Amino acid sequence: MTGKTAFETRYGFARKDVRLDNWRLRPFSQWSFQNVGELVPSVQVAAAPGGEDQAKLLGALLDEKVTLAGGPETVEAFLRRSDTDGLTILKGGRLVGDWSAPHMAFGARHIIFSISKSVTAILAGILEGEGVFDPEAPVIQYIPEAKASAYGNASVRNVLDMTVSLDFEEAYLDPESAFARYRRATLWNPGGGSESLAAFLLTLQRLAEPHGQTYRYRSPNSDMLGILLERASRKCVGDLLSEKLWLPLGAASEMSVTVDMEGTARTAGGMSMTPRDLARIGEMMRQGGVANGRRIVPEAWVRDTVAAGGSHEAWQRGTMAFLFPKGRYRNKWYQMGTASGAFCGIGIHGQWIYVNPRDEVVIAKMSSQPEPVDDVLDLDIVVFFEALSRMV
């Protein structure tokens, strides 16, 4: 029998063709980004009973035009050009609508990559509010065995704000780099299982520059944060997510986070959730830490994260200042420095949670962009979000 399976008809390739060595490449990513748990060990975090409502179409909004670098473009054309898989828009806390690509069913989970960092930082804010986690403490107060690593004289604040002077590069496409070894330790690449994530992190060394001076985007910092939270709370990340965030948030669908050989969560990039639930996180942040009438994270922490805290000078010394020229970075969230007061979380391959306080808009965008990082497209996405906020 030589006919195509339903899977092959939908995606254009067979399930057996998707492997650890290609799951982040197109076309396979159009399926794997929604099914990471079939490739990498993962912990599931249950939602409250009830489930999600039906999709609400964006309707005529899709035909509206936005002016981008290449000229006018309809909303739907840009969603397709930017390889969007799923989109949810909220206005004033109410659902404007959803959009899904043909290969992503409404209500499907999707990996959010480095927006996981922003979610993990929310846990840090919650534990800080409970008095069990000190963002100004030295890392070794919680992890004494980090003394001989780059973190030996770093503070938790350095970890939260990406100002650890870490001798490490995010070389996504170099199979021989330390980054590839890092991904093996997370079980994201073939050949993993001989070195745990925690063991890898403790081998990292520092640069000559003091900590705290320069924003350096280094994902290991955010995995270190997950371990710090576990040490401080004496609970695993999965339990923290469930107890402190997911159930209080009123999330409608299960989420998950990938884990390594020892069960250590990939808090830098391993979380998967639906666009609706990611939008709920954004709305909770827009509301100053409140969801469903319940305070989840202290208001002072949210204000510091999205408006007041962070060093503009450290941001300017980093390599991402072109994206947000007036920006800052605080607690693993980006302050965009725009007149709208917008802030966001960003993940590779086109994951975004965008929050616009002035226009009361939240946009969750999940994608399968072919390249991990596309600076030109990112600039268009920022303009698109600002324009879309004014439309709705």
User: What totals of helices (H) and strands (E) does the chain contain, helices first?
Assistant: 15, 15
Measured distance CA(43)–CA(57) in Å, rounded: 32
pLDDT band of 2, cuts 50, 70, 90? low
Catalytic residue among 32, 42, 100, 114: 114
Question: Mapping DSSP to helix (H, G, I), strand (E, B) and coil, where does residue 70 land?
Answer: coil
Reference 315, options 334, 291, 293, 339; nearest CA is 334
| 367 catalytic residue (yes or no) | no
- Domain 90-391 adopts which CATH fold? Beta-lactamase (3.40.710)
Residue 1 has pLDDT above 60, yes or no: no
> What's the angle, vertex CA 301, arms to CA 295 and CA 307, rounded to 5?
120
Q: What is the pLDDT of residue 3?
A: 78
Mean pLDDT of 209-232: 98
User: Would you list the domain boundaries of the chain?
Assistant: 90-391
DSSP code string of 164-182? --B-----TT-TTSHHHHH
Quick: pLDDT tens for 327-386: 999 999 999 999 999 999 999 999 999 999 999 999 999 999 999 999 999 999 999 999
Strand 84-91 with 94-100, pairing: antiparallel
DSSP code string of 209-247? SPTTSS----THHHHHHHHHHHHHHTS-HHHHIIIIIIH
Burial degree of 14 (CB within 10 A; 0-12, 13-18, 19+)? exposed
Q: What is the pLDDT of residue 12?
A: 93
Mean pLDDT of 229-244: 98
In the chain, the percentage of residues whose pLDDT exceeds 70 is 99
